[in-house]
Amino acid sequence: MNRTYEVMFIVRPDLEEADLDKLIEGFSTVVTNGKGEVKQVEKLGRRRLAYIVRKFQDGLYVLLHISADGPLVAELERRLRVTEQVIKFITVRTDEENKRLAKIKAIRDSKVKTSTQQTANVEASEAPAAPAVAAEPAVA
């Protein structure tokens, strides 16, 4: 059963753009060969780290949105751990959060739809009837 994950990893800041693309392609290949799917790849650029990691103060951030099963994610994390250019990574499962947010959105939409219908019904019932036109007496 495939679940959705966000995998963020930080790469050494001295890595060339071409090498970074190769690294991302390698991780994407691991996912696709394991019958997973890479939904989106975001290069977030160079940012300052909150603290020094492996003697680096900056890093290149990359975010992968993937759909995969548990053993495949474990293999991807193993490869991230042993890759020398990667200085930090984190994997977050997002399918439960997406399901929760979809449920909240559905509840909000139903409340908005219900309140809109009620407002329309109230306005229709309170609308004044067409005013009766009184004929003016003819003045002689």
Query: In whole angstroms, how far apart are CA 136 and each of 129, 130, 132, 139?
Result: 21, 18, 12, 9
Q: Are 66 and 2 in contact (CB under 8 A)?
A: no
pLDDT band per the 50, 70, 90 thresholds, residue 98: confident
Can you tell me the mean pLDDT for 57-78? 95
Locate the domains of the chain by residue range: 3-96
Instruction: Provide the whole-model pTM.
Output: 0.72
Residue 121: pLDDT above 90?
A: no
- The better pLDDT of the pair 13, 119 is held by 13
Residue 33: pLDDT above 70?
A: yes
Domain 3-96 grouped into CATH 3.30.70.60: yes
Q: Are 62 and 9 in contact (CB under 8 A)?
A: yes
